[in-house]
Amino acid sequence: MNPQSQSTIRDVAREARVSVATVSRVLNDPQRVRLKTREKVLKAMDHCHYVYNALAGSLSARKTTMLGVVVPTITNPIFARVTKGIQDYAAQNGYSILLGNTDYNEENELHLINLFQEKRIDGVIFNGPWRSAPLILRMKSTNLPFVITWQKVKDKDVNFVAFDNFRSAYHSVEYLIGLGHRRIGMIAGKFSISERALLRWKAYRKCLGDYDLPYEPRYVLEKGYSFSEGEEAMAYLLDLPSRPSAVFCGNDILAIGAIVEAKKKGLRIPEDLSITGFDNMEISAFYDPPLTTVAVPAYEMGRMAAKILIENLRGESSKPQQYMLEAQLIVRGSTARIQKKQPAFGARPSAESKLAVWLSDDR
């Protein structure tokens, strides 16, 4: 006898002089067993140092109480936050999390889906940029329940919990316009990688148009989400003959990089240059200057997604759930009314949001 080998319900059953079925019952539904026998079994269990084998259990019960979670990279605080939201709700409900990073690579995503299938995960939550069609199709073909965060999806039957990217972005730009800025640049994320980035750019462009401001392609830079790319982008913008007086950044990381570069060039933020971010990372409130940004409800999206998924798994709700959470513009110190006396700006619509009301991610 291998002294290391764990004991099984069979051993426990023998020890307690009951059947394995009974042991199984005290494990899964203690009520169904007479108190007396239950205690006998419990005692036998710790006499045998019994440890439940979830593998065997899952195999026969056909569920694992494990959720797959895919993020681009756990290293980005904003994704750590969704993950935490998922994790917290899941743990409270007896589910564990299998974590997968894609590193923004679609192939990895496919691998993960495969892995999840093999591991017989109960359901999966996708976070972050999402090139809809093909992957969603692939997911559907697996018959695994899943929910998507960050971004809405056309399909009427796909679960998601997102926020209105377009609208939040629109608000940011509108706010900048309201401060009197008319040369507004944008440091965007990569459109090819992140549909969110694209959406934010569309909002930027639309807002400019709505206020009769010209769209200047050279004011728009497409960059990866890193501090140094934010610096590069800003360096470029500052070299432009008539540089923007405000820059709308695709996320806080880019915004901070941009600020670093601007300061390096001797500009004061926000007096000489206004900058806005997106995400509201924890650090953003403590940066110098504190960042004006859009607070994305990352943790809440995670929690919500886990909730939807788990309720779905429990059969508590079968129809698709689609939620849009509120994202909020947080005005802090990195933006200010334009200083330079340039031709007074004749904004036609008032600075108050107006169009934004009926606008949405769809365009």
Partner DNA sequence: TTGAAAGCGCTACCAT
Partner DNA sequence: ATGGTAGCGCTTTCAA
Residue among 108, 258, 275 at smallest CA distance from 99: 108
Instruction: Give the residue with the Cβ less far from a copy of itself, 106 or 362.
Output: 106
Q: Which stretch binds DNA (CB under 7 A): 4-12, 132-140, 194-202, 204-212?
A: 4-12
Q: Of these, 39, 47, 59, 268, which contacts DNA (CB under 7 A)?
A: 59
Choose from a copy of itself, DNA, none: what does 137 bind? Cβ within 5-8 Å by kind.
none
Residue type (1 letter), 7: S
Structural tokens at position 32: 């169904």
Instruction: Give the residue with the Cβ less far from a copy of itself, 99 or 355.
Output: 99
Residue with tokens 């995503």: 109
Look up residue 295 and give its DSSP letter: E
User: What gap in Å lies between CA 12 and CA 74, rounded to an integer?
Assistant: 42
The values of phi and psi at residue 221, to 5°, are -120, 140
Residue type (1 letter), 262: A
Structural tokens at position 298: 């990352």
- DSSP states of 55-123 as a string? HHHHHHHT---EEEEEES-TTSHHHHHHHHHHHHHHHHTT-EEEEEE-TT-HHHHHHHHHHHHHTT-SE
Choose from DNA, a copy of itself, none: what does 8 bind? Cβ within 5-8 Å by kind.
DNA
- DSSP states of 132-185 as a string? HHHHHHHHHHHT--EEEEES--S-TT-EEEEE-HHHHHHHHHHHHHHTT--SEE
Instruction: Give the residue with the Cβ less far from DNA, 14 or 84.
Output: 14
Instruction: Give the residue with the Cβ less far from a copy of itself, 117 or 360.
Output: 117
Choose from DNA, a copy of itself, none: what does 37 bind? Cβ within 5-8 Å by kind.
DNA
User: What gap in Å lies between CA 218 and CA 232, rounded to an integer?
Assistant: 14
State yes or no: residue 114 binds DNA (CB under 7 A).
no
- Give how many residues touch DNA by CB under 7 A: 29
Q: Of these, 1, 3, 4, 36, which contacts DNA (CB under 7 A)?
A: 36
Q: Which stretch binds a copy of itself (CB under 8 A): 73-81, 164-172, 239-247, 323-331?
A: 73-81
CB of 361 to a copy of itself, least distance (A): 27
Residue among 256, 286, 280, 363 at smallest CA distance from 328: 280
Instruction: Give the residue with the Cβ less far from a copy of itself, 150 or 287.
Output: 287
Q: Of these, 21, 56, 133, 240, which contacts a copy of itself (CB under 8 A)?
A: 56
State yes or no: residue 287 binds a copy of itself (CB under 8 A).
yes
CB of 12 to DNA, least distance (A): 7
Contact residues toward a copy of itself (CB under 8 A) are 4, 51-56, 58-59, 64, 66, 69, 73-75, 77, 80-81, 83-84, 87-88, 91, 96-101, 115, 117-120, 143, 227, 256-257, 259-260, 263, 282-283, 285-288
